[in-house]
C-alpha cells in the first residue's frame, strides 16, 4: 500500500496535468470550441464544425466560411423538404398556404446565404474593402435568419397539423440555430479586424 499509493498519486497528477494541457493546447478542435463558446448554441456549433477541423485548422476566415457553408447546405436541404411537402396531395388550403409561404421564405434565405458566402470570400482578397464586405455579409445573414425564423413560426399555430408540422418545425429550429451560430461567428470575425 505504502508503495502503490505514491505511484497512484503521481499518475493522477500526470493525468490531470495532461488533461489541462489538452484542453488549452492550440489545436483546431480547441480553436473551434473557444470560438463557439460565445455563440448562442455552443454545443451545436462545435458539433457541426468540429468535423471540418482539418479544413478549418485555426484560421478565423476558414472557420466563418465553413460555418456559413454548413448553414447554406442545411437551409438548402430544408428547402427541398418543404417544397416536397407543399406538393403533397390532400392538403387543406390553410396547410398549403403555410407551406407555400414557408417555401418562399426559405428560398429567399438560401439566396441570401449563397450571396453571403460569395461576399465573404472577398473579405480575404487583398485590396478589397474588408469592412464593406463583412457588413454586407452580416446584413444578409441576419435577413436569412429572419426568414428562417418566420418560416418556423408559421408552424407554431394550428394551420398545419400532425407529422408534417412537427418535422418542419424541428428542421426550421435546427436550421435557424445553425444560422444564428454562423452569424455570431461572423460578427466575432468582423469585430476583430
Ligand X SMILES: *[C@@H]1O[C@H](CO)[C@@H](O)[C@H](O)[C@H]1NC(C)=O
- Which residues are at the interface with ligand X (CB under 6 A)? 52, 66, 69-70, 73
CA distance linking residue 175 with residue 89, whole number of Å = 26
**Cα distance between residue 116 and residue 110, in whole Å:** 10
Among residues 33 and 100, whose Cβ is nearest to ligand X?
33
* Nearer CB in complex with ligand X: 56/85: 56
Of 67 and 151, CB closest to ligand X: 67
Distance CA 110, CA 131 (A): 23
Nearer to ligand X among residue 107 and residue 150 (C-beta): 107
In whole angstroms, the minimum distance from the beta carbon of 15 to ligand X comes to 35
Select 74 or 99, whichever has its Cβ closest to ligand X: 74
- Smallest distance from ligand X to CB 51, Å: 9
Cα-based angle 112, 116, 118 (whole degrees, multiple of 5): 125
Distances (CA, A) of 4 to 8, 9, 10, 71, 107: 6, 9, 10, 53, 66
CB of 50 to ligand X, least distance (A): 12
Which residues make Cβ contacts (< 8 Å) with residue 17, sequence separation at least 6? none
Q: Please report how close the Cβ of residue 77 comes to ligand X at its closest, in angstroms.
A: 9
Kindly state the smallest distance separating residue 182's Cβ from ligand X, in Å: 11
Sorted by sequence, the CB contacts under 8 Å of residue 156 that are 6+ apart come out as 169
Do residues 35 and 52 touch, judged by C-beta distance below 8 A? no
Amino acid at each position: 500500500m505504502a508503495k502503490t499509493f505514491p505511484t497512484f498519486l503521481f499518475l493522477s497528477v500526470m493525468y490531470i496535468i495532461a488533461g489541462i494541457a489538452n484542453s488549452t493546447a492550440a489545436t483546431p478542435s480547441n480553436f473551434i470550441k473557444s470560438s463557439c463558446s460565445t455563440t448562442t448554441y455552443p454545443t451545436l456549433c462545435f458539433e457541426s464544425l468540429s468535423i471540418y477541423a482539418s479544413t478549418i485548422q485555426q484560421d478565423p476566415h476558414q472557420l466563418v466560411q465553413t460555418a456559413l457553408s454548413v448553414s447554406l447546405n442545411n437551409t438548402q436541404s430544408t428547402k427541398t423538404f418543404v417544397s416536397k411537402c407543399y406538393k403533397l396531395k390532400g392538403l387543406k388550403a390553410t396547410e398549403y398556404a403555410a407551406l407555400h409561404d414557408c417555401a418562399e421564405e426559405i428560398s429567399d434565405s438560401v439566396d441570401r446565404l449563397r450571396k453571403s458566402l460569395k461576399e465573404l470570400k472577398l473579405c480575404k482578397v487583398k485590396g478589397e474593402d474588408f469592412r464593406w464586405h463583412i457588413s454586407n455579409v452580416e446584413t444578409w445573414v441576419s435577413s436569412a435568419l429572419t426568414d428562417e425564423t418566420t418560416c418556423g413560426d408559421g408552424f407554431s399555430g394550428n394551420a398545419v397539423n400532425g407529422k408534417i408540422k412537427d418535422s418542419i418545425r424541428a428542421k426550421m429550429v435546427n436550421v435557424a440555430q445553425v444560422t444564428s451560430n454562423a452569424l455570431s461567428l461572423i460578427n466575432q470575425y468582423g469585430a476583430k479586424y
